[in-house]
């Protein structure tokens, strides 16, 4: 392992560790083959690095970037045991690179780390224990499309965080983050918690037809593909 100021190594198609630059270099982005997502993998040790690279390399949807072009990847995938100071430094540096979106594969996740991930623009998180090949590819392709992916427990914590922000900061000032109506936001919140149409109808005291109509209206207005996409969109834009 190459020791750097961040103690995290970087690899692309060549598979070797490299220095994490102190600031993103300005280069013309390489264009991946049609239908493929270009990915740079950053890991805190060679074992984690090799494991993720070997999972992604055979997949036709993925193009691993060579080290010298890692800053131009569509997706930067950070693989760590936990969100420690070294990981935060790297996330901060990647945030300044506007040509890439960042995802995190993490072993242990402390509750306080959620705010850090929001601040540094991490759009998707996967626990290492669940990081098989298909889930890694799903994570990467979702990030490339601008979608958010979070484990269910972290999604709940994020919703609690946003609700707390409303209560303590925005509501007393008569402000709001949301372009959704209260009814729409509540129904999407219940979708995010895993409730079906009948359960949402029961909890909100609306008919199932009304629930379907409300969710359809939100999807149409915001050009969303399905309920999961609606939840992801609402989270990314601070609507719930």
CB 76 within 8 A of CB 40: yes
Strand partners, 79: 43, 105
Token couple for 188: 């999407």
Quote the pLDDT of residue 240: 58
Alpha carbon distances (Å) from 111 to 12, 60, 118, 158: 31, 35, 12, 10
Q: How far is residue 104 from each of residues 31, 52, 120, measured CA to CA in Å? A: 23, 12, 11
Instruction: Report how far apart, in Å, the C-alpha atoms of 202 and of each of 98, 194, 216 are.
Output: 44, 14, 18
pLDDT at 169: 43
pLDDT score, position 152: 59
Instruction: Give the tokens for residue 19.
Output: 């220095």
What backbone torsions phi and psi does residue 131 show, to the nearest 5 degrees? Answer: -85, 65
Extended strands (E) in the chain: 9-11, 37-43, 62-64, 75-82, 101-108, 122-127
Q: How many CB atoms lie within 10 A of CB 197?
A: 18
Each residue's pLDDT expressed in tens, for the chain with a length of 240 residues: 332 323 455 554 434 333 333 334 333 445 556 679 999 999 988 888 899 999 999 999 999 998 888 989 999 999 999 988 899 999 989 988 888 899 999 888 776 677 777 778 888 888 888 889 999 999 999 888 887 777 656 555 554 554 554 455 444 544 344 456 778 888 888 888 888 899 999 999 999 999 998 888 878 877 777 777 777 766 665 655
* Per-residue pLDDT, 4: 31
Q: pTM for the complete prediction?
A: 0.55
CA distance 88 to 9: 14
pLDDT of residue 111: 65
According to DSSP, residue 106 is labeled E
């Amino acid at each position: 392992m190459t020791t750097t100021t961040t103690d995290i190594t970087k690899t692309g198609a060549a598979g070797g560790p490299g220095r994490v630059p102190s600031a993103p270099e300005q280069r013309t982005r390489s264009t991946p083959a049609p239908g493929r997502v270009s990915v740079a993998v950053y890991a805190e040790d060679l074992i984690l690095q090799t494991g993720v690279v070997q999972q992604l390399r055979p997949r036709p949807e993925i193009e691993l970037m060579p080290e010298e072009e890692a800053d131009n990847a569509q997706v930067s995938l950070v693989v760590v045991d936990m969100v420690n100071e070294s990981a935060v430094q790297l996330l901060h540096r990647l945030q300044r690179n506007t040509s890439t979106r960042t995802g995190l594969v993490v072993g242990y996740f402390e509750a306080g780390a959620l705010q850090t991930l929001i601040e540094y623009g991490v759009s998707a998180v996967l626990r290492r224990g669940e990081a098989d090949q298909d889930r890694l590819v799903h994570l990467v392709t979702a990030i490339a499309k601008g979608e958010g992916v979070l484990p269910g427990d972290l999604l709940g914590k994020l919703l609690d965080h946003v609700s707390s922000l409303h209560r303590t900061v925005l509501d007393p000032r008569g402000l709001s983050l949301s372009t959704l109506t209260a009814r729409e936001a509540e129904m999407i919140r219940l979708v995010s918690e895993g409730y079906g149409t009948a359960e949402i109808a029961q909890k909100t005291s609306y008919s199932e037809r009304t629930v379907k109509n409300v969710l359809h209206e939100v999807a149409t207005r915001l050009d969303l593909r399905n309920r999961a996409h609606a939840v992801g969109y609402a989270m990314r834009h601070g609507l719930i």
